[in-house]
Structure 1
Amino acid sequence: MALDDNSCDGALCTFTLCTIPGVEQALAELRRVLKPGGKFHFLEHGLAPDAKTQAWQHRLDPLEKRLADGCHLTRDPVELVKAAGFELEFVHSEYTKGPKPWVFITFGQAINAK
């Protein structure tokens, strides 16, 4: 990003962590531009908690990537955010209406605790 280090108070990400190539690098870049204490809000779909739905997500993932412009059904947004070094302040996950492999939704807020 063409932004200075520690230059942003907050960031919002909606239904993009599933698709970004190099998602780990993108989240590292987001941490770089967020000020210490900066908030990261996210709304994503991803890997379901139950084994049966996960099995279907893994089966469908190769097709999903081709048909949905690189979207991965098997990415876990909470784990990605934590692995990037953010501290979770709030997370809520639930199934919304629709076929289970596509509708496990997570929204949350994390802090850049540099």
Structure 2
Amino acid sequence: MTAPSLASYVTKRPWLSKLLKPVAGWYSNAALYRQMGLKADDLISEENADVLKALGRLTPKESYDRIYRIRRATQLSLQQKILPKNEWTKPEEDVQYLSPILEAIEAEAKEKQALDTLVPSKASH
């Protein structure tokens, strides 16, 4: 299950979006994941069945790239280093690749639950 998001609330209010954009950029830089070559979706824990399903739906290239980024970041962490600035993940490269799949899986689960609990009613004559 993904965390609740206020993104739709913020995007509907341009003044709030404009106010929060610098804070979001600062937070992303402070988190250091971009300096280690990671994307935000690389930080999603794999301890959830839905996440494992989503990882299974990635293309082979996306899956390989994810594993490469995580292994490189682990090695950098062990060495207590960060990448050279030209190798950092740029904000425009930090796109969600796993979250949309997770949302689709959750929607499928809700739909399945709704269909499994459907109670048939008698047709009126």
TM-score, normalized by length of structure 2?
Answer: 0.24
Larger Rg: 2
The structure richer in helix per residue is 2
TM-score, normalized by length of structure 1?
Answer: 0.25
The structure richer in strand per residue is 1
